[in-house]
Structure 1
């Protein structure tokens, strides 16, 4: 048996905003349309997570490599491979942490 909807969320909009929502809702009631939009917005987007994970991994590799080079140290092929493996291993966890920050008011 599905859960009953017992909670309510509301907001005020202008006449123009209401008309825009009516048009976007199409055959749905505005309430159902708004519910769908809110629930979709609350779920993490898988595409965004993948892109952010790759950016986080690249950032990890780049910052570590540049730091080492800035210290006038060489980066061996083995060290670079370890760096890549670490970045790949941690990327999704770190991306998830980054995506959670806005939802928690700046607290990871």
Structure 2
């Protein structure tokens, strides 16, 4: 592919995207997805998951990518996980062995 062909392809695709965004008929491929609402986790939920995974607070913090202070505050109910932490907790709740399968932790 030459530089001119590449530029023309990019320009064509951008024009299709603009047309689609404006509600005009276009050849742009779209996909509609539904994203489940974030789950909320109580202090007991966080602690139960950590214990189910047989992890210390320190190990669980390392897995979650947060400080041990975060885990302590979640488990005391002082703060609550939100955003990406809640999504990760939900994934781990549904599949607690995932971290080990992925080589993130080793037992």
TM normalised by structure 2 equals: 0.22
TM-score by length of 1: 0.22
Bigger proportion of residues as helix? 1
